[in-house]
Amino acid sequence: MIFKEPKWKSYIVQTDNPVFTPEQCQKIIETGRQQPKQDAQVGGGVGGKVDTKTRISHISWIPFNALPVMYTTIENLMLQTNNNHFGFDGMNITENAQYTEYTEGGFYDWHIDSDVHFMHEPPVRKISMTIELSPANEYEGGGLELMDEGKLIRPKQGHAIFFASFIRHKAVTVTRGTRRSLVMWFGGPAFK
């Protein structure tokens, strides 16, 4: 896999080539849609709740045994990305992949993926990843803003963005159609 950035410490890395073909993206979509669908929550864990002022999307969780080749491909890419850019210790997959659908009006406002209250309790989320599953002509709006307003990344179908889970980010509102993405988090021991 070739990356747009050279090998040095970077907390945002986008793949230059697609991780998955359009056919593989469609298989992930089909598998995600076969899982129990729920309204996305804010706050996660036991204290999570639906909050339509902060997040509107539908999600499902893809079991490891449903797409083992997908998980292996992503884990290998994450390890390579971590070694080349992030340099975090003991990284591995710690959670099932989240399949997400943002229909017209769907969004997720500014947030971080690491809960600062639990950064001392392993596994700590350190790397977040999103893979665009939809072709660009299926929706308008959407995309991912990282750190500040206007720093928009709208990856092509099958491409991945890896970023440090402590980076503030948001999913921009979809204005037409449906945006489908795959989101994963990778963790390890507490930060030193």
Q: Is the pLDDT of residue 1 over 70?
A: no
Q: Classify residue 94: in a domain, yes or no.
A: yes
Q: Which of 15-24, 28-37, 44-53, 119-128 has the lowest mean pLDDT?
A: 44-53
Q: Classify residue 43: in a domain, yes or no.
A: no
Distance CA 48, CA 79 (A): 30
CA atoms within 13 A on the CB side of 60: 16
Distance CA 74, CA 20 (A): 10
Confidence band of 107 (pLDDT split at 50, 70, 90): very high
CA atoms within 13 A on the CB side of 145: 17
Q: Which of 60-74, 113-127, 156-170 has the lowest mean pLDDT?
A: 113-127
Average pLDDT on 138-163 reads 90
- As a whole number of angstroms, the longest Cα–Cα distance in the chain is 44
Q: Classify residue 111: in a domain, yes or no.
A: yes
Domain carrying residue 131: 12-38+57-188
Distance CA 74, CA 79 (A): 9
Q: Classify residue 150: in a domain, yes or no.
A: yes
**In whole angstroms, what separates CA 76 from the centre of its chain?**
16
Q: What global pTM score does this model have?
A: 0.89
pLDDT at 51: 80
pLDDT at 152: 87
CB 37 within 8 A of CB 60: yes
Q: Classify residue 84: in a domain, yes or no.
A: yes
Q: Name the domain count of the chain.
A: 1
Percent of the chain with pLDDT over 90: 69
Q: Classify residue 171: in a domain, yes or no.
A: yes
Q: What 3-state DSSP class applies to 93? A: strand
pLDDT at 6: 45
- DSSP letters, 123-138, are SEEEEEEEEE-S-GGG
**Residue 115 belongs to domain with CATH number:** 2.60.120.620
Burial 125-157 (b: 16+ CB within 10 A, else e): bbbbbbbbbbeeeebebbbbbbeeeeeebebeb
The one-letter amino acid at 3? F
pLDDT at 138: 96
